[in-house]
Amino acid sequence: MLKIRLSMGGAKKRPVYKIVVADSRFPRDGRFIEKLGFFNPLVPKNKKDRMKIEVERVKHWMSQGAKPGKGGILPGEKITAEISAIRGVEIGEDAISPNRHVDITSFDDLLDMINRIRDVTGKPVGFKMVVGAPFQIDDLLKTIIKRDVTAAPDFITVDGAEGGTGAAPMALIDSVGMSLRESLPIMVDKLKQYGLRERVKVIASGKLVTPSSVAWALCSGADFIVSARGFMFSLGCIQALQCNKNTCPTGITTHDIKLQRGLNPQAKSVRVTSYVNNMVKEVGIIAHSCGVKNPRALNRTHARVVVGSGRTIGLDELFPEPESLVK
Protein backbone atom coordinates (compact mmCIF):
# COMPACT_ATOMS: atom_id res chain seq x y z
CA MET A 1 0.00 0.00 0.00
CA LEU A 2 1.27 3.48 -0.87
CA LYS A 3 1.20 6.29 1.66
CA ILE A 4 1.85 10.01 1.51
CA ARG A 5 3.68 10.86 4.71
CA LEU A 6 6.42 12.86 6.39
CA SER A 7 9.98 11.55 6.45
CA MET A 8 12.18 13.16 9.09
CA GLY A 9 15.68 14.43 8.46
CA GLY A 10 17.89 17.25 9.72
CA ALA A 11 19.77 17.34 13.02
CA LYS A 12 18.83 16.62 16.62
CA LYS A 13 16.31 19.21 17.87
CA ARG A 14 16.34 20.75 14.37
CA PRO A 15 14.18 18.43 12.30
CA VAL A 16 13.30 18.99 8.66
CA TYR A 17 10.66 16.83 7.03
CA LYS A 18 10.35 15.60 3.47
CA ILE A 19 6.83 15.01 2.18
CA VAL A 20 7.09 11.72 0.32
CA VAL A 21 5.09 8.91 -1.26
CA ALA A 22 6.36 5.57 -0.03
CA ASP A 23 5.48 1.93 0.32
CA SER A 24 3.88 1.51 3.76
CA ARG A 25 6.26 -1.39 4.40
CA PHE A 26 9.28 0.92 4.24
CA PRO A 27 10.60 2.47 7.49
CA ARG A 28 9.17 5.94 8.11
CA ASP A 29 12.48 7.70 7.44
CA GLY A 30 13.77 5.14 4.94
CA ARG A 31 13.30 4.61 1.22
CA PHE A 32 10.60 6.46 -0.66
CA ILE A 33 9.27 6.51 -4.22
CA GLU A 34 9.05 10.24 -4.83
CA LYS A 35 9.62 13.44 -2.88
CA LEU A 36 6.54 15.67 -3.05
CA GLY A 37 7.77 18.59 -0.99
CA PHE A 38 9.17 19.58 2.39
CA PHE A 39 8.07 20.98 5.75
CA ASN A 40 10.39 22.90 8.09
CA PRO A 41 8.67 23.53 11.46
CA LEU A 42 11.49 25.84 12.56
CA VAL A 43 10.65 28.45 9.92
CA PRO A 44 8.01 31.05 10.95
CA LYS A 45 4.50 30.33 9.70
CA ASN A 46 4.36 33.48 7.57
CA LYS A 47 7.45 32.50 5.54
CA LYS A 48 7.11 30.81 2.15
CA ASP A 49 10.06 28.50 2.76
CA ARG A 50 8.31 26.89 5.76
CA MET A 51 6.65 24.39 3.46
CA LYS A 52 6.45 23.52 -0.20
CA ILE A 53 4.31 20.81 -1.73
CA GLU A 54 3.86 19.70 -5.34
CA VAL A 55 0.07 19.69 -5.34
CA GLU A 56 -0.32 18.17 -8.80
CA ARG A 57 1.97 15.28 -7.89
CA VAL A 58 0.01 14.71 -4.67
CA LYS A 59 -3.21 14.59 -6.70
CA HIS A 60 -1.56 12.17 -9.12
CA TRP A 61 -0.47 9.77 -6.40
CA MET A 62 -3.79 9.98 -4.57
CA SER A 63 -5.52 9.05 -7.82
CA GLN A 64 -3.22 6.00 -7.93
CA GLY A 65 -4.37 4.90 -4.49
CA ALA A 66 -1.81 6.56 -2.21
CA LYS A 67 -3.32 7.39 1.18
CA PRO A 68 -2.26 10.42 3.23
CA GLY A 69 -1.66 10.09 6.95
CA LYS A 70 -1.40 7.12 9.27
CA GLY A 71 -5.06 6.41 9.88
CA GLY A 72 -6.49 6.41 13.39
CA ILE A 73 -3.96 6.42 16.22
CA LEU A 74 -4.93 5.62 19.80
CA PRO A 75 -1.79 6.16 21.92
CA GLY A 76 -0.73 3.53 24.43
CA GLU A 77 -1.43 5.75 27.42
CA LYS A 78 -5.12 5.70 26.43
CA ILE A 79 -5.33 1.90 26.25
CA THR A 80 -7.09 1.02 29.49
CA ALA A 81 -8.03 -2.51 30.56
CA GLU A 82 -11.57 -1.93 29.28
CA ILE A 83 -10.40 -0.72 25.85
CA SER A 84 -7.88 -3.56 25.68
CA ALA A 85 -10.65 -6.11 26.23
CA ILE A 86 -13.00 -4.50 23.69
CA ARG A 87 -10.49 -3.89 20.89
CA GLY A 88 -8.14 -6.79 21.49
CA VAL A 89 -5.00 -4.67 21.83
CA GLU A 90 -2.29 -4.74 24.48
CA ILE A 91 -2.50 -2.33 27.42
CA GLY A 92 0.02 0.47 27.00
CA GLU A 93 0.73 -0.18 23.30
CA ASP A 94 -0.28 2.21 20.51
CA ALA A 95 -3.29 1.00 18.51
CA ILE A 96 -2.98 2.09 14.88
CA SER A 97 -6.08 1.64 12.74
CA PRO A 98 -5.44 1.47 8.98
CA ASN A 99 -6.45 4.56 7.01
CA ARG A 100 -8.19 2.33 4.49
CA HIS A 101 -9.92 -1.02 4.17
CA VAL A 102 -7.34 -3.51 2.95
CA ASP A 103 -9.93 -5.19 0.73
CA ILE A 104 -10.90 -1.96 -1.06
CA THR A 105 -8.41 -1.02 -3.78
CA SER A 106 -10.75 0.39 -6.44
CA PHE A 107 -14.16 1.98 -6.89
CA ASP A 108 -15.55 -1.42 -7.86
CA ASP A 109 -14.33 -2.82 -4.54
CA LEU A 110 -15.91 0.14 -2.74
CA LEU A 111 -19.28 -0.43 -4.40
CA ASP A 112 -19.07 -4.16 -3.64
CA MET A 113 -18.53 -3.38 0.04
CA ILE A 114 -21.35 -0.82 0.13
CA ASN A 115 -23.81 -3.26 -1.40
CA ARG A 116 -22.69 -6.10 0.83
CA ILE A 117 -23.24 -4.03 3.98
CA ARG A 118 -26.59 -2.79 2.67
CA ASP A 119 -27.75 -6.34 1.90
CA VAL A 120 -26.74 -7.59 5.35
CA THR A 121 -28.10 -4.69 7.41
CA GLY A 122 -30.99 -3.40 5.32
CA LYS A 123 -29.77 0.12 6.19
CA PRO A 124 -28.74 3.04 3.95
CA VAL A 125 -24.98 2.86 3.33
CA GLY A 126 -22.56 5.48 2.05
CA PHE A 127 -19.05 6.76 2.58
CA LYS A 128 -17.12 9.90 3.43
CA MET A 129 -14.42 11.48 1.30
CA VAL A 130 -12.18 14.49 0.89
CA VAL A 131 -12.04 15.23 -2.83
CA GLY A 132 -8.52 15.40 -4.24
CA ALA A 133 -9.54 16.40 -7.78
CA PRO A 134 -12.84 16.50 -9.75
CA PHE A 135 -11.84 13.66 -12.07
CA GLN A 136 -11.95 11.30 -9.09
CA ILE A 137 -15.68 11.97 -8.79
CA ASP A 138 -16.06 11.32 -12.54
CA ASP A 139 -14.27 7.97 -12.19
CA LEU A 140 -16.54 6.94 -9.32
CA LEU A 141 -19.76 7.93 -11.07
CA LYS A 142 -18.73 6.29 -14.34
CA THR A 143 -18.12 3.07 -12.40
CA ILE A 144 -21.64 3.31 -10.93
CA ILE A 145 -23.22 3.92 -14.34
CA LYS A 146 -21.42 0.92 -15.85
CA ARG A 147 -22.84 -1.34 -13.15
CA ASP A 148 -26.33 -0.08 -12.39
CA VAL A 149 -27.89 2.86 -10.57
CA THR A 150 -28.93 0.50 -7.77
CA ALA A 151 -25.23 -0.09 -7.02
CA ALA A 152 -24.80 3.57 -6.02
CA PRO A 153 -24.21 4.51 -2.38
CA ASP A 154 -27.21 5.96 -0.58
CA PHE A 155 -25.19 8.97 0.47
CA ILE A 156 -21.77 10.58 0.08
CA THR A 157 -20.39 12.76 2.86
CA VAL A 158 -18.10 15.42 1.42
CA ASP A 159 -15.50 16.67 3.87
CA GLY A 160 -13.14 19.53 3.10
CA ALA A 161 -9.40 19.86 3.44
CA GLU A 162 -10.18 22.28 6.27
CA GLY A 163 -11.62 19.40 8.31
CA GLY A 164 -9.59 16.89 10.30
CA THR A 165 -8.51 16.37 13.90
CA GLY A 166 -5.97 17.87 16.23
CA ALA A 167 -3.97 14.66 15.90
CA ALA A 168 -3.40 14.98 12.14
CA PRO A 169 0.01 16.04 10.73
CA MET A 170 0.04 19.80 10.13
CA ALA A 171 1.17 19.40 6.53
CA LEU A 172 -1.97 17.38 5.76
CA ILE A 173 -4.24 19.79 7.62
CA ASP A 174 -2.85 22.75 5.69
CA SER A 175 -2.26 21.45 2.19
CA VAL A 176 -3.96 18.19 1.14
CA GLY A 177 -7.43 17.93 -0.39
CA MET A 178 -9.89 20.38 -1.90
CA SER A 179 -11.75 22.92 0.21
CA LEU A 180 -15.41 22.17 0.91
CA ARG A 181 -16.24 25.55 -0.63
CA GLU A 182 -15.15 24.11 -3.96
CA SER A 183 -15.69 20.37 -3.65
CA LEU A 184 -19.28 20.42 -2.34
CA PRO A 185 -20.88 22.23 -5.31
CA ILE A 186 -18.71 20.19 -7.69
CA MET A 187 -19.95 16.93 -6.14
CA VAL A 188 -23.59 18.06 -6.39
CA ASP A 189 -23.11 19.11 -10.02
CA LYS A 190 -21.33 15.90 -10.99
CA LEU A 191 -24.18 13.83 -9.58
CA LYS A 192 -26.61 15.90 -11.64
CA GLN A 193 -24.52 15.44 -14.77
CA TYR A 194 -24.57 11.67 -14.42
CA GLY A 195 -28.27 11.52 -13.53
CA LEU A 196 -27.59 10.29 -9.99
CA ARG A 197 -28.59 13.32 -7.92
CA GLU A 198 -31.97 11.91 -6.93
CA ARG A 199 -30.41 8.55 -6.07
CA VAL A 200 -27.52 9.78 -3.90
CA LYS A 201 -27.92 12.14 -0.95
CA VAL A 202 -25.09 14.60 -0.28
CA ILE A 203 -23.95 15.35 3.26
CA ALA A 204 -21.65 18.32 3.91
CA SER A 205 -18.94 18.28 6.58
CA GLY A 206 -15.90 20.42 7.35
CA LYS A 207 -15.84 23.37 9.77
CA LEU A 208 -19.55 24.07 9.32
CA VAL A 209 -19.94 25.57 12.79
CA THR A 210 -21.88 28.80 12.17
CA PRO A 211 -25.40 29.44 10.83
CA SER A 212 -24.02 31.25 7.77
CA SER A 213 -21.74 28.32 6.83
CA VAL A 214 -24.61 25.84 7.24
CA ALA A 215 -26.86 28.07 5.10
CA TRP A 216 -24.11 28.25 2.46
CA ALA A 217 -23.89 24.44 2.34
CA LEU A 218 -27.66 24.19 1.85
CA CYS A 219 -27.46 26.81 -0.92
CA SER A 220 -24.71 24.76 -2.57
CA GLY A 221 -26.98 21.72 -2.74
CA ALA A 222 -26.28 19.67 0.41
CA ASP A 223 -29.16 17.56 1.69
CA PHE A 224 -27.78 17.38 5.23
CA ILE A 225 -25.06 19.00 7.28
CA VAL A 226 -22.97 17.33 9.98
CA SER A 227 -20.63 19.05 12.38
CA ALA A 228 -18.11 17.57 14.79
CA ARG A 229 -16.16 20.75 15.49
CA GLY A 230 -19.23 22.77 16.43
CA PHE A 231 -20.27 20.27 19.06
CA MET A 232 -16.69 20.04 20.32
CA PHE A 233 -16.67 23.80 20.79
CA SER A 234 -19.97 23.68 22.64
CA LEU A 235 -18.42 21.10 24.97
CA GLY A 236 -15.55 23.49 25.67
CA CYS A 237 -12.83 22.48 23.19
CA ILE A 238 -10.08 25.12 23.01
CA GLN A 239 -8.17 23.51 20.11
CA ALA A 240 -5.16 22.65 22.24
CA LEU A 241 -4.11 20.10 19.56
CA GLN A 242 -3.58 17.44 22.23
CA CYS A 243 -6.34 15.07 21.11
CA ASN A 244 -3.92 12.16 20.69
CA LYS A 245 -1.75 12.77 23.75
CA ASN A 246 -4.15 11.99 26.59
CA THR A 247 -3.48 15.49 27.95
CA CYS A 248 -6.54 17.39 26.68
CA PRO A 249 -6.87 20.23 29.23
CA THR A 250 -10.68 20.40 28.88
CA GLY A 251 -11.17 16.69 29.58
CA ILE A 252 -12.88 15.94 26.26
CA THR A 253 -10.34 13.64 24.58
CA THR A 254 -8.52 12.18 27.54
CA HIS A 255 -8.82 9.13 29.77
CA ASP A 256 -6.98 10.89 32.58
CA ILE A 257 -9.48 10.90 35.46
CA LYS A 258 -8.19 14.17 36.86
CA LEU A 259 -8.55 15.97 33.53
CA GLN A 260 -11.95 14.37 32.89
CA ARG A 261 -13.32 16.28 35.88
CA GLY A 262 -13.45 19.31 33.59
CA LEU A 263 -16.11 17.59 31.50
CA ASN A 264 -19.36 17.78 33.45
CA PRO A 265 -22.07 16.00 31.40
CA GLN A 266 -24.95 17.75 33.14
CA ALA A 267 -23.54 21.24 32.55
CA LYS A 268 -22.21 20.53 29.06
CA SER A 269 -25.50 18.98 27.88
CA VAL A 270 -27.18 22.35 28.41
CA ARG A 271 -24.54 24.04 26.24
CA VAL A 272 -24.83 21.45 23.48
CA THR A 273 -28.62 21.78 23.47
CA SER A 274 -28.35 25.56 23.28
CA TYR A 275 -25.89 25.29 20.38
CA VAL A 276 -28.25 23.04 18.40
CA ASN A 277 -31.36 25.12 19.12
CA ASN A 278 -29.66 28.40 18.21
CA MET A 279 -28.19 26.88 15.04
CA VAL A 280 -31.62 25.74 13.86
CA LYS A 281 -33.19 29.07 14.77
CA GLU A 282 -30.60 31.24 13.04
CA VAL A 283 -30.39 29.14 9.87
CA GLY A 284 -34.17 29.51 9.74
CA ILE A 285 -33.84 33.29 10.10
CA ILE A 286 -31.38 33.36 7.18
CA ALA A 287 -33.78 31.29 5.05
CA HIS A 288 -36.73 33.55 5.86
CA SER A 289 -34.68 36.65 5.04
CA CYS A 290 -34.04 35.11 1.61
CA GLY A 291 -37.78 34.78 1.08
CA VAL A 292 -38.16 31.01 1.42
CA LYS A 293 -40.27 29.07 3.92
CA ASN A 294 -37.54 26.79 5.26
CA PRO A 295 -33.77 26.21 4.93
CA ARG A 296 -34.21 23.26 2.53
CA ALA A 297 -35.63 25.71 -0.02
CA LEU A 298 -32.36 27.65 -0.19
CA ASN A 299 -30.49 27.44 -3.50
CA ARG A 300 -27.52 29.05 -5.22
CA THR A 301 -29.42 32.20 -6.16
CA HIS A 302 -29.57 33.03 -2.45
CA ALA A 303 -25.80 33.21 -1.86
CA ARG A 304 -22.95 35.37 -3.05
CA VAL A 305 -19.24 34.73 -2.66
CA VAL A 306 -16.59 37.38 -1.92
CA VAL A 307 -13.92 36.98 -4.62
CA GLY A 308 -11.52 39.83 -3.95
CA SER A 309 -11.34 43.56 -3.26
CA GLY A 310 -14.74 43.28 -1.60
CA ARG A 311 -16.44 42.25 -4.84
CA THR A 312 -18.95 39.41 -4.87
CA ILE A 313 -20.29 36.94 -7.40
CA GLY A 314 -23.46 34.89 -7.24
CA LEU A 315 -22.99 31.26 -6.23
CA ASP A 316 -25.19 30.37 -9.22
CA GLU A 317 -22.77 32.25 -11.49
CA LEU A 318 -19.70 30.67 -9.93
CA PHE A 319 -21.23 27.19 -10.22
CA PRO A 320 -23.90 27.35 -12.97
CA GLU A 321 -26.37 24.53 -13.59
CA PRO A 322 -24.43 21.68 -15.26
CA GLU A 323 -25.33 20.05 -18.56
CA SER A 324 -26.44 16.45 -18.35
CA LEU A 325 -24.00 13.80 -19.61
CA VAL A 326 -26.72 11.14 -19.69
CA LYS A 327 -28.37 10.58 -23.05
User: pLDDT, tens digit, for every residue of 248-276?
Assistant: 888 888 888 888 888 888 889 999 999 99
> Angle at the Cα of 225 (from 167 to 233), degrees rounded to 5?
45
CB of 137 within 8 A of CB of 186? Answer: yes
- Whether 15 shows a pLDDT value over 80: the answer reads no
CA 126 remoteness from chain centre: 14
Strand partners, 239: none
The SS3 of residue 189 is: helix
What pLDDT shows up at residue 175? 65
* DSSP tag of 321: P
Domain map (residue ranges) of the chain: 1-68, 69-99, 101-327
- Whether 70 shows a pLDDT value over 60: the answer reads no
Tell me the CATH number of domain 1-68, given options 3.40.50.620, 3.30.1320.10, 3.30.360.10, 1.20.58.220. Answer: 3.30.1320.10
- Counting other chains too, the contacts that 37-43 makes at CB distance below 8 Å and 24 or more residues apart are 37/171, 39/6, 39/170, 39/171, 40/16, 41/15, 41/17, 41/170, 42/14, 42/15, 42/16
CATH fold of 101-327, please? TIM Barrel (3.20.20)
Average pLDDT, the chain: 84
Main-chain phi, psi angles of 250, to 5 degrees: -95, -5
pTM above 0.75, yes or no: no
Amino acid at 108: D
Residue 203 and residue 225: Cα distance in Å, rounded? Answer: 6
